[in-house]
């Protein structure tokens, strides 16, 4: 098996840098758009054969070093009983948001058995992909952090201000904490099921963690996140765990305390600066972090020579004296308007220029 990515997650010395792309199965690929013509988004997520097909596309087309299962982070919330709608042009919405302690108390957390029953289509897709990959590259599973999942559920979808979520966090933090705790229990059950179905690594997406300052992140978002992480460490100790945060440069001192294998960051700060902060001496700090990222997604719209130049700079920023300590990726999901040959050039540039 090509285990380059898994070895890099564990901090081992590798012959070159592994590379994959967040949202690599997506609209920039004509092959993905052809599948979408046959099925709406939720149908695609819930049809294992179609989800497996689009999961494999970037492995075949781009030559990335890891596959990540095609799904949506909000599916566990639907499995908890929240109505989830994907409307054309509007993205995901929850027609009945959860905004009170009473609503949170009425929302049941999923057990492993519940997850198997209500999210079995995700696990079926996972098994299909593992079979089709036949060891070519590892397969990642993923989920949203409790804070990020709650952000969508409380707002009823995406938001510019997140006024309902943030207002609740000030008015009744214990009530919001109840919701976060139930989402954490569900997330843990869901992710454990992914590992049982064949996930070889897991990534937690904290898209909206950056809404909070460090003090409030530690008091609100960290406890349910830590519950998920500690649960996974206990139940799936040999499966690497990646934590990704968007807009979280100001939270790095707190992120350094997380018991995850890989810290994935956006493009707004050089990897050398990220490493300087998270590896600093102090409470909870540790040395030898593996970082993931962090090319600006918009850089893939540049001419290919400029993409190659920026890849070179990213490799220099991410390198350490002990070896790479780095998994190449974008700092966020790939944009739908990126030409396929530009995405392929990014992957090729990492693989060729990081050869030992």
Active-site residue, from 23, 127, 226, 344: 23
Active-site residue, from 36, 112, 136, 226: 36
27 assigned to active site: yes
pLDDT at 207: 95
CA angle at 235 for the pair 229 and 238, rounded to the nearest 5°: 85
pLDDT at 111: 97
Active-site residue, from 28, 152, 190, 244: 152
Other Cβ atoms less than 10 A from the Cβ of 42: the count is 16
pLDDT at 322: 63
DSSP for 167-209, please give it.
Answer: HHHHH-HHHHHHHHHHHHHHHHHHHHHHHHHT-SEEEEEETTG
Per the CB < 8 A criterion, the answer to whether 245 and 206 are in contact is yes
pLDDT at 1: 73
Tell me the CA end-to-end span of the chain in Å, nearest whole number: 20
244 assigned to active site: no
With both helix axes pointing from N to C terminus, report the angle between 120-133 and 173-197 in degrees, rounded to the nearest 10. Answer: 40
For residue 294, whether the previous peptide bond is cis, meaning omega lies within 30 degrees of 0, is yes
Active-site residue, from 27, 226, 268, 353: 27
pLDDT mean for each 10 residues of the chain (356 residues): 92 94 97 96 97 98 98 97 86 94 96 97 98 97 98 95 97 97 98 98 97 97 98 96 97 94 96 93 72 97 98 91 84 98 98 88
pLDDT at 323: 65
pLDDT at 282: 56
pTM above 0.85, yes or no: yes
Active-site residue, from 72, 206, 261, 266: 72
- Calpha distance 108→182 (Å, rounded): 7
Per the CB < 8 A criterion, the answer to whether 55 and 129 are in contact is yes
H-run or E-run covering 259: none
pLDDT at 156: 95
118 assigned to active site: no
Sequence-ordered alpha helix ranges (H) in 37-172: 41-46, 48-62, 75-79, 101-105, 112-118, 120-133, 146-155, 163-171
72 assigned to active site: yes
pLDDT at 319: 82
pLDDT at 190: 98
H-run or E-run covering 243: strand 241-245
- Calpha distance 344→299 (Å, rounded): 13
- Calpha distance 330→35 (Å, rounded): 24
Domain 4-353 sits in CATH at 3.20.20.210
């Amino acid at each position: 098996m090509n285990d380059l990515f898994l070895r890099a997650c564990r901090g081992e010395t590798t012959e070159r840098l592994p590379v994959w792309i967040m949202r690599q199965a997506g609209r920039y690929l004509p092959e993905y758009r052809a599948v979408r013509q046959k099925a709406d988004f939720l149908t695609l997520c819930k049809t294992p054969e179609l989800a497996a097909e689009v999961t494999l596309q970037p492995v075949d087309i781009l030559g990335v070093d890891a596959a990540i299962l095609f799904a949506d982070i909000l599916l566990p919330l639907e499995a908890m009983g929240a109505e989830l709608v994907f409307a054309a042009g509007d993205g995901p919405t929850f027609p009945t948001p959860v905004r009170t302690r009473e609503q949170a108390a009425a929302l049941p957390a999923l057990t492993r058995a519940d997850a198997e029953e209500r999210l079995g289509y995700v696990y079926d897709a996972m098994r299909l992909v593992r079979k089709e990959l036949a060891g070519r590259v590892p397969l990642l599973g993923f989920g949203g952090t409790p804070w990020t999942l709650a952000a969508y559920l409380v707002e009823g979808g995406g938001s510019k201000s997140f006024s309902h979520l943030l207002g609740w966090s000030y008015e009744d933090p214990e009530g919001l904490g109840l919701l976060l705790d139930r989402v954490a229990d569900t997330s843990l059950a869901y992710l454990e099921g992914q590992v049982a179905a064949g996930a070889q690594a897991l990534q937690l997406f904290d898209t909206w963690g950056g809404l909070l300052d460090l003090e409030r992140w530690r008091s609100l978002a960290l406890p349910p996140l830590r519950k998920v992480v500690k649960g996974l460490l206990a139940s799936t100790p040999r499966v690497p765990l990646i934590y990704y945060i968007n807009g979280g440069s100001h939270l790095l001192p707190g992120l350094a305390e997380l018991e995850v294998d890989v810290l994935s960051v956006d493009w707004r700060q050089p990897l050398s600066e990220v490493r300087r902060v998270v590896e600093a001496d102090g409470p909870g700090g540790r040395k030898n972090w593996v970082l993931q990222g962090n090319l600006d997604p918009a850089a893939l719209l540049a001419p290919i020579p400029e993409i190659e130049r920026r890849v070179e700079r990213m490799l220099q920023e991410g390198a350490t004296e002990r070896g790479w300590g780095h998994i190449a990726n974008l700092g966020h999901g790939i944009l739908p308007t990126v030409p396929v040959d530009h995405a392929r050039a990014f992957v090729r540039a990492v693989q060729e220029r990081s050869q030992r």
